[in-house]
Amino acid sequence: MKGKVRLNFRLNGEERHDEIEPNQTLCDYLHDVAGTTGVKKGCDTGECGACTVLLDGMPVTSCLVLAPQVDGRDVVTVEGLGKTARPNPVQRAFVEHDAVQCGYCIPGMIVTLSWIRDHVPEASDAEIRRLMSGNLCRCTGYQQQIDALKTALGTASRSG
Amino acid sequence: MKSFQYLAPIPQFDYLAPRKLSEVFDLLEVHGREAAVIAGGTDLTIALKERTAAPKVVIDLCHLRSELGGITYGKGVLRIGALATFSEIEASHPVAKYANALREASANVGTLQIRTIATLGGNLATASPAADSAPPLIALGANVGILGRSGERTLPVQGIFAGPKRNALQVGEIISSVEVPALGGVRSAWTRAAVRNENVLSAVSVAVASIVRDGTFGPSRIALGAVAPTPMLAETASKAMTGSRATAERAEEVARLAAEDARPISDIRASARYRKHLVHVLTRRLIMGVLSEERVS
């Protein structure tokens, strides 16, 4: 009696209708089934943030969400935030600031920082660090990414 | 080795998302202990991967936000629905006004990406000794509303914790809300110690709630997390604080008693001895904070 369930939701602005096994995380579903491979599985325990997506506009670690939980809801992955030809301001600033090294954490980082840009634009440095503490990066030391966010916010200091 | 199990798919289960509370109780009656209830899912999803939970049926409460969600204030009671997320609690004005300790703890649960989905009811139902929401609620004298087919009962928040990762819900019951007495003049604060500032389980957490009036501590409660099998009220310390003179010397004495109340174990996060030391230091710090807040206001 283990049954498939219907999954109707909006993915990056487009309605998606599917029938799925419920025993999979949103992270696995998005990456392996829906083809939004910008969703990266890192720790699979909600600590690293590489799988961060927006669920009804709020950042969530998609490895801690079961795929059927998003029925009727709105999901945005990094693919929905910008394209190579038309990057969003945070993505553009990441390129300017060399904020990418190995790249694995970057899609999740872009999702979180884009959310901060849109919803907490007045955040102090300490608040930015607190809000991005769920996105681990083992390469950069975070400073380039914070600098990039400030450029995207238009609050980068002129010196340095 | 837990970690290898992450490579295998989660075992199959049936997923059901009832649209009415009565259907939840029907399902719980039929499936009993083979059912797991999911709210945000940040704990259950990990338990499924680690095989510490292997339900045949997962019952999602997502369609019951109007019954089980929301944060309201009225008639001296702050009511927080079980499905309220930590982000909602962190941003709530009545919570900031009447339950500052809970706001502080909520802002430190997990990460931004966890706070947006993790719920207060889920945090209590998981019943971790380190549940960060518990010490503030215990210090504030909050009650948990528990709903079953036959009606509602309430327990003091510490009563929902039956043991480490074991809650006091009967089969067929769910947590519906938390009610915090919202009294004017109550000052409350929360703090914790952990190996880093963010994205980490607390090694020790402490909450203090008190009314300071005319140089005296009125009704006061100190609650501790991660220093016993369940979050606990520091009874000796709370009694010693209540009705005593509001001075730095008294804060030190109360903090020492709180450390004696604690019954910690040694584990990967801290030794028992260090945990007692932390309770002492953090309790004194919180009481001094409550005192200085009183002076400026």
Tell me how far apart the alpha carbons of residues B149 and B30 are, in angstroms, rounded to a whole number. Answer: 13
Residues of A with CB below 8 A from B114's CB? 46, 60-61, 64, 134
> Residue A83: CB partners within 8 Å, gap ≥ 6?
none
Tell me how far apart the alpha carbons of residues B166 and B145 are, in angstroms, rounded to a whole number. Answer: 17
Say if residue A160's pLDDT is above 70: no
> Residue B259: CB partners within 8 Å, gap ≥ 6?
B276, B277, B279, B280, B283
Residues of B with CB below 8 A from A3's CB? 14
Give the closest of B10, B113, B197 to A61, CB-based. B113
> Residue B87: CB partners within 8 Å, gap ≥ 6?
A58, B112, B115, B116
Say if residue A140's pLDDT is above 80: yes
Residues of A with CB below 8 A from B48's CB? 23
Identify the residue among B57, B111, B115, B117 best suited for mutation to test binding to A, counting A beta carbons within 10 A and taking the highest: B111
Do the Cβ atoms of A46 and B87 come within 8 Å? no
Give the closest of B41, B46, B49 to A69, CB-based. B41
Chain-centroid distance of CA B226 in Å reads 11
- Give the angle A74-A78-A80 at the CA atoms, nearest 5°: 55
Residues of A with CB below 8 A from B62's CB? 69, 71
Residues of B with CB below 8 A from A23's CB? 9-13, 48
pLDDT of residue B8: 79
Identify the residue among A24, A28, A61, A128 best suited for mutation to test binding to B, counting B beta carbons within 10 A and taking the highest: A61
Per-residue pLDDT band for A157 (boundaries 50, 70, 90) equals low
Give the closest of B10, B58, B114 to A134, CB-based. B114
Locus of tokens 């007692």: B276
Q: CB atoms < 10 A from the CB of A140, how many? A: 18
DSSP character for B285? H
Identify the residue among B37, B112, B116, B197 best suited for mutation to test binding to A, counting A beta carbons within 10 A and taking the highest: B112
pLDDT of residue B197: 83
Which pTM was predicted? 0.95
Is residue A116 within 8 A of residue A129, CB to CB? The reply is: no
pLDDT digit string, tens, across residues A67-97? 999 999 999 999 999 999 999 999 999 999 9
Q: List strands edge to edge, sheet with B77-81.
A: B71-74, B77-81, B174-181, B143-148, B151-156
Locus of tokens 């949103």: A26
pLDDT of residue A2: 65
pLDDT of residue B111: 97
Q: Please state the ipTM of this predicted complex.
A: 0.95
pLDDT along chain B (297 residues), means of 10: 65 96 97 97 96 96 97 97 98 97 97 98 97 97 97 97 97 98 93 89 96 95 97 98 96 98 94 97 97 68
Give the closest of B15, B49, B116 to A60, CB-based. B116
Report yes or no: B62 at the A interface, CB cutoff 8 Å.
Answer: yes
Report yes or no: B11 at the A interface, CB cutoff 8 Å.
Answer: yes
Is residue B294 within 8 A of residue B288, CB to CB? The reply is: no
Span A49-64, mean pLDDT? 98
State the nearest Cα–Cα gap between A100 and chain B, in angstroms.
Answer: 21
Tell me how far apart the alpha carbons of residues B214 and B216 are, in angstroms, rounded to a whole number. Answer: 5
Do the Cβ atoms of B15 and A25 come within 8 Å? no
State the nearest Cα–Cα gap between A131 and chain B, in angstroms.
Answer: 6
CB burial of A83-111 (b: ≥16 within 10 Å; e: otherwise) equals eeeeebbbbebbeebebbeeebbbbbbbb
Residues of B with CB below 8 A from A5's CB? 15
Q: Which two tokens stand for residue B71?
A: 């944060």
Domains and CATH numbers, chain B: 2-64 (3.30.43.10), 66-181 (3.30.465.10), 187-296 (3.30.390.50)
Residues of A with CB below 8 A from B17's CB? 68, 71
Domains and CATH numbers, chain A: 5-77 (3.10.20.30), 89-153 (1.10.150.120)
Q: Above pLDDT 70, what percent of chain A?
A: 96
B 80-139 near A (Cβ less than 8 A): 87, 110-114, 116-117
Tell me how far apart the alpha carbons of residues B258 and B272 are, in angstroms, rounded to a whole number. Answer: 14
Q: Which helix (H) or strand (E) segment is B71 a member of?
A: strand B71-74
State the nearest Cα–Cα gap between A115 and chain B, in angstroms.
Answer: 11
